[in-house]
Amino acid sequence: MFDTLSDKLDAALKNVKGEGRINDLNIAETMREVRRALLDADVNYQVAKDFTNKVKAHVTDEKVLQAVNPGQQFVKHVYDELVYLLGDVHVDLNQAKRPPTVILVAGLQGAGKTTFVGKLAHFLKAKGRSPMVAAADVYRPAAVDQLETLAGQVGVPVFAIRGADGVPVKDAVAVAEQAVAEARRMGRDTIIIDTAGRLHVDEAMMDEVVAIKKATEPDEILFVVDAMTGQDAVNTAKAFNDRLDIDGVVLTKLDGDTRGGAALSIRSVVEKPIKFAGTGEKLDALTEFYPDRMAQRILGMGDVVSFVEKAQEQFDAEEAEKLQRKFRTQEFDLQDFYDQLQKIKNMGSLKDLLGMIPGVGKAIKQIDVDDEAFRHIEALIQSMTPVERAQPEIINGSRRRRIAKGAGMEVQDVNALLKQFREMKKLMKTMSKLQGKGRAVDPTQ
């Protein structure tokens, strides 16, 4: 995501990063390059121009020129301006004073609306809410099926109206209206309504969404747009906002090699916050949009916050305590190792995770981090018996051959895994001893 933009900004800012003094000449040159990087990323021309002018105004401020490390301050100004451009602060979804909260989801066909409705239901459910989804995209029978499948995967009810022949009844307003009533009756706290999109903005589509809006009085209208469509995304957002007065934008497909222009221009052109970003086809590939975190990623500063959040989701405190105990007492076995690997895997790809650590972001792009390596370790452990996982020391020559064969690998792969595991255990022992010491002398504990 945003790789090219990151690289170009990085290159542009290299000019000044190491400079002890910033002068008019390198400011002008750097700003030209920053602007070019933004334009290449398909950022709206006016937006890019305003951006560089603002940074320039900050940088040429006298105080800044005399500062100790002007290069870093320069980068900081670019960062601040990026955060501002992306919307400054995160904006949460609106909530109804009296449930159910009605969320209307609109956008062009193929933008990722239906997928997003499923993802949002999943996201809200994980937060303890009780969403329900409604299939008001009644023209494409497949859309209703798709939503039913997604709802089944998430484990939330779905509202649809089908005729005796099983075909969806073509009255989107009725579906939406009845869905809200049904959500209220069932005591669901949120109803998410999926609507029909067309390939291009057209009046009939807009009229229908406007009618649904009138009938259901949504608390939140989200406009879903494919980030890969660049400037078109901005224009479509404007068209929808003019008719619907949307509350927020959802950018999908930010995982693709989008140049990022949409993300960077939408906020200032449409003046509505980006609330979510879709980063893949799976149900959990949805992140709340935080301008500061996104700017950090664009500038390759790493995204520690979302890294920590992801880690917290996977590792709870009680379990961490249990693991610590196992490290100390050397009871940590291959089964535990396997379980931990699953959790790391659930957090995303190894490369993505490493990319979020500050300083690693840039370096990692050149290295081929191999998620395959994970799969190999997994396959080997899966091929072991429970006793072998608990007591790896009993794994002798014939067991090694059997394990390798079961995993479709070589004996030396088993050897390598066991060696790595032994070394890891040694390291953990040393680390937990050190930690133990620290705690014993800490007077605040």
Positions that interact with ligand GDP (CB under 6 A): 107, 109-115, 197, 252-253, 255-256, 278-281, 285
Was 152 annotated as part of a binding site? no
227 is in an annotated binding site: no
Strand pairing category for 286-288 and 274-278: antiparallel
Instruction: Find out whether 390 is annotated in a ligand binding site.
Output: no
Q: Which of 35, 42, 43, 80 is nearest to 61 (CA)?
A: 80
Tell me whether residue 195 is annotated as binding: yes
Q: What is the closest distance, in whole angstroms, from the C-beta atom of residue 257 to ligand GDP in the complex?
A: 11
CB of 240 to ligand GDP, least distance (A): 13
Question: In whole angstroms, how close is the CB of 180 to ligand GDP at the nearest point?
Answer: 20
Contact 35, 47 (CB under 8 A): no
Q: Is 207 within any annotated ligand binding site?
A: no
Quick one: 47 or 147, whose CB is closer to ligand GDP? 147
Please state, in angstroms and rounded to a whole number, the distance separating the CA atoms of residues 415 and 401. 10
Residue 313: closest CA among 155, 131, 122:
122
Quote the CA–CA distance of 101 and 67 in Å, as a whole number: 50
Check whether 197 is labelled as a binding-site residue: yes
Judged by CB, which is closer to ligand GDP: 40, or 255?
Answer: 255
Q: Is 401 annotated as a binding residue?
A: no
Which of residues 89 and 126 has its CB atom nearest to ligand GDP in the complex?
A: 126
| CB closer to ligand GDP, 110 vs 438 | 110
**Helix or strand holding residue 129 (H, E):** none
Give Cα separations from 359 to 69, 301, 434 (angstroms): 19, 7, 26
Please return the burial class of 66, using the count of CB atoms within 10 Å of its CB with bins 0-12, 13-18 and 19+.
exposed
* Residue 282 beta carbon to ligand GDP: minimum distance, rounded to whole angstroms: 9
3 state SS of 175: helix
Residue 219 sits at φ, ψ, to 5 deg, of: -80, -25
Using alpha carbons, list the distances in angstroms from residue 65 to 15, 16, 272: 15, 12, 35
Is 347 within 8 Å of 314 (Cβ atoms)?
yes
Instruction: Supply the minimum distance, in Å, between the C-beta of residue 420 and ligand GDP.
Output: 34
The residue of the chain with the least Cβ separation from ligand GDP equals 278
- Structure token digits, residue 133: 């989804």
Q: Is 252 annotated as a binding residue?
A: yes
385 is in an annotated binding site: no
For residue 393, give the H/E element and its range: none
Dist CA 282 CA 296 (whole Å): 25
Does 113 belong to an annotated binding site? yes
Under a CB-based contact definition with an 8 Å cutoff, are residues 73 and 79 in contact?
Answer: no
- Report CA Rg, the chain: 26
Asked whether 83 and 274 are in contact (CB, 8 A), the reply is: no
109 is annotated as contributing to ligand binding: yes
**Nearest residue to 299 via CA among 74, 42, 40, 69:** 74
Report in angstroms how near the CB of residue 356 gets to ligand GDP at its nearest: 18
CB nearer to ligand GDP: give 102 or 143. Answer: 143
Neighbours of 197 (CB within 10 A): 25
Q: Least distance to ligand GDP from the beta carbon of 348, Å?
A: 14
Query: What's the min distance (Å) between Cβ of 98 and ligand GDP?
Result: 29
Residue 73 or 195: the one with the smaller Cβ distance to ligand GDP is 195
Which residues, listed in sequence order, are joined to residue 195 by a DSSP beta bridge?
136
Does 30 appear as a known binding residue? no
Closer CB to ligand GDP, residue 282 or residue 419? 282
Closer Cβ to ligand GDP, 31 or 249, answer by number: 249
- We find the least distance from the C-beta atom of residue 117 to ligand GDP, in angstroms, to be 8
Nearer to ligand GDP, 79 or 123 (CB): 123
CA 436, CA 356: separation in Å to the nearest integer?
29
Angle at 255 between CA 369 and CA 198, to 5 degrees: 160
Query: Binding-site residues for GTP, please?
Result: 107-114, 194-198, 252-255
Query: Binding-site residues, please?
Result: 107-114, 194-198, 252-255
